[in-house]
């Protein structure tokens, strides 16, 4: 079977993207060639990864094989990008290279990989449990058949949105950075429970289940956030007492600014 997908950097996020493709038989292990940096990671994957993919490390004689694949997933850390040297064995057509690196623009990718048709995908950590949100930006040189295949890579572990590259920074802020904001809110609400006398463990369990139930209700019953807020806020009651404090402390504005901060930081990376 000819190799179809090359993975440059088979770390946490690449594994989260590739494993569902293997589980659902979208690709067979022998169709995937993965490259890691160290012999240690190579041995670890060779022994512990449940699928027998072709895996190589940078110092092995076969490390160039990854570049034979018509589609590549680039999944190294942004600071490791400078160590990647492009090879394209196809003299007539450009191969495809999908980068999931935070903040690295299509223009930069096309400068580093001139022999490849580059695609940018921004994904988020829930992709590790099949609940990812992925924003994809591509240029006009990609035909529909390849677009479908590339989208399918991410659709197996969540939802995919095709966006103009201009919107990838705000997409990243809202989907990729915001899980940390939610985690911080959960932790802080848990500390609220702790202040009121509950254990930390019980407080956090209650907060997580409360958020889960609230979000599910919004989705299942198609209730908007403002409608839900009004449902639970009665005149002179406990909830409006809590909301008053948040408004006074600038909570809503802090959240808006946090998203703008993440977006602006992402723009700086280019």
Ligand X SMILES: NC(=O)c1ccc[n+]([C@@H]2O[C@H](COP(=O)([O-])OP(=O)(O)OC[C@H]3O[C@@H](n4cnc5c(N)ncnc54)[C@H](OP(=O)(O)O)[C@@H]3O)[C@@H](O)[C@H]2O)c1
Between 75 and 109, name the residue whose CB sits nearer to ligand X.
75
Nearest residue to ligand X by CB is: 11
Shortest CB 78 distance to ligand X, Å = 5
Contact 123, 177 (CB under 8 A): no
Between 24 and 59, name the residue whose CB sits nearer to ligand X.
59
Shortest CB 71 distance to ligand X, Å = 16
Residue 5 φ/ψ, nearest 5 degrees: -125, 125
Between 29 and 126, name the residue whose CB sits nearer to ligand X.
126
The secondary element (H helix, E strand) that includes residue 132 is strand 132-138
Shortest CB 121 distance to ligand X, Å = 8
The secondary element (H helix, E strand) that includes residue 71 is strand 71-74
Residue 6 φ/ψ, nearest 5 degrees: -105, 135
Shortest CB 86 distance to ligand X, Å = 12
Shortest CB 103 distance to ligand X, Å = 8
Task: Give me the residues that bind ligand X (CB under 6 A), please.
Answer: 8-14, 35-38, 41, 58, 75-78, 80, 83-84, 100-102, 123-125, 176
Shortest CB 41 distance to ligand X, Å = 3
Between 151 and 214, name the residue whose CB sits nearer to ligand X.
151
Q: At what angle do helices 144-155 and 12-23 cross, to 10 degrees?
A: 100
- Residue 51 CA: distances (Å) to CA of 34, 63, 125, 232: 12, 19, 22, 49
Between 135 and 193, name the residue whose CB sits nearer to ligand X.
135
Between 41 and 152, name the residue whose CB sits nearer to ligand X.
41
Between 38 and 90, name the residue whose CB sits nearer to ligand X.
38
Contact 263, 172 (CB under 8 A): yes
Closest CA to 159 of 194, 124, 208: 124
Between 62 and 209, name the residue whose CB sits nearer to ligand X.
62
Closest CA to 122 of 134, 137, 110: 134
| Angstrom distance (rounded) from CA 162 to CA 158 | 13
| Angstrom distance (rounded) from CA 24 to CA 144 | 22
The set of residues, in sequence order, having a beta carbon less than 8 Å from that of 206 and lying 6+ positions away, is 193, 198
Shortest CB 11 distance to ligand X, Å = 2
Shortest CB 222 distance to ligand X, Å = 29
| Angstrom distance (rounded) from CA 94 to CA 71 | 10
């Amino acid at each position: 079977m000819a190799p179809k997908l090359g993975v440059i950097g088979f770390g946490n996020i690449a594994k989260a993207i590739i494993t569902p493709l293997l589980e659902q038989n979208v690709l067979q292990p022998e169709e995937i060639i993965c490259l890691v940096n160290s012999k240690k990671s190579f041995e670890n994957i060779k022994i512990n990864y449940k699928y027998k993919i072709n895996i190589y490390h940078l110092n092995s004689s076969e490390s160039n094989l990854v570049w034979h694949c018509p589609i590549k997933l680039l999944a190294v850390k942004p600071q490791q990008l400078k160590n990647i040297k492009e090879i394209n064995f196809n003299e007539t057509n450009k191969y495809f290279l999908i980068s999931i690196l935070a903040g690295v623009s299509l223009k930069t990718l096309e400068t580093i990989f001139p022999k490849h048709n580059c695609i940018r995908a921004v994904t988020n950590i829930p992709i590790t449990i099949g609940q990812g949100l992925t924003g994809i930006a591509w240029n006009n040189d990609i035909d529909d058949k390849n677009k479908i295949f590339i989208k399918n890579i991410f659709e197996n572990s969540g939802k995919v949105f095709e966006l103009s590259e201009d919107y990838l920074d705000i997409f990243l802020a809202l989907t990729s950075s915001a899980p940390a904001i939610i985690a911080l809110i959960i932790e802080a609400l848990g500390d609220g429970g702790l202040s009121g006398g509950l254990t930390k463990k019980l407080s956090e369990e209650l907060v997580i289940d409360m958020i889960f139930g609230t979000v599910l209700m919004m989705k299942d019953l198609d209730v908007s956030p403002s409608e839900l807020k009004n449902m639970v806020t009665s005149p002179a009651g406990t909830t409006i007492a809590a909301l008053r404090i948040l408004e006074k402390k600038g909570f809503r504005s802090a959240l808006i600014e946090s998203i703008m901060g993440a977006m602006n930081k992402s723009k700086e990376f280019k």
